[in-house]
């Protein structure tokens, strides 16, 4: 490399850079094309269901079957342990029953995320946002009163 002090421009006399430029260009184009083809598309759905209700999307169904256990600490009591709720959901593709999943929600956790990819070929995450109503000592919650809010994110490979 030579420096011309008259106009302070760098001039390269080594021809290695002439070979590197095309190679770097081809490599950059390949990596860009690969990254574009490998990108995934994610679709997000929000749902609120009651016990026994189903949420349908893209020929898939998640049914809020029942609350198995609700030992969350009532909001009007101070507890040593926060407790938890266990819910049962059923998974379908079209009319075909694929299986059941028991989800444990902690009382002090705002949301719980799990993958349902074992039931489907594509990636499918479900995030349980809330289970309401929250227990109080002054009332007993009937099974029909429970509502489950969740978000489903389906990742589709292009």
pLDDT tens for each residue of 73-84: 888 888 888 888
pLDDT tens for each residue of 98-152: 999 988 887 665 556 777 778 877 778 888 888 999 899 988 999 999 999 999 8
Class of domain 40-157: mainly beta
pLDDT of residue 26: 52
Domains in the chain: boundaries:
2-37, 40-157
The whole-model pTM stands at: 0.67
pLDDT of residue 103: 87
DSSP string, the chain: -EEETTTTEEE---THHHHHHHHHHHHHHHHHHHHHHT-EEEEEEEEEEETT-EEEETTEEEEEEEEEEE-PPPTTS--SS--EEEEEEEEEETTEEEEEEEEEEETT-S-EEEE-TTTSSSEEEEEEEEEESPPBTTBPPPGGG-EEEEEEEEEEE-
């Amino acid at each position: 490399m030579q420096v011309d002090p008259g106009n302070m421009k760098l001039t390269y006399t080594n021809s290695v850079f002439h070979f590197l430029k095309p190679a770097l260009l081809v490599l950059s184009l390949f990596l860009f094309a690969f990254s574009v083809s490998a990108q995934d598309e994610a679709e997000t759905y929000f749902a609120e269901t009651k016990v026994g209700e189903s949420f349908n999307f893209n020929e898939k169904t998640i049914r809020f079957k029942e609350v198995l256990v609700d030992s969350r600490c009532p909001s009007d009591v101070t507890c040593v342990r926060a407790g938890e709720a266990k819910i049962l959901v059923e998974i379908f593709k079209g009319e075909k029953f694929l299986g059941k999943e028991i989800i444990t929600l902690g009382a002090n956790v705002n949301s719980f995320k799990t993958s349902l990819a074992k039931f489907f070929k594509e990636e499918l995450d479900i995030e349980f946002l809330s289970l309401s109503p929250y227990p109080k000592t002054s009332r007993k919650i009937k099974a029909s009163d429970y509502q489950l809010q969740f978000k489903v994110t389906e990742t589709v490979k292009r």
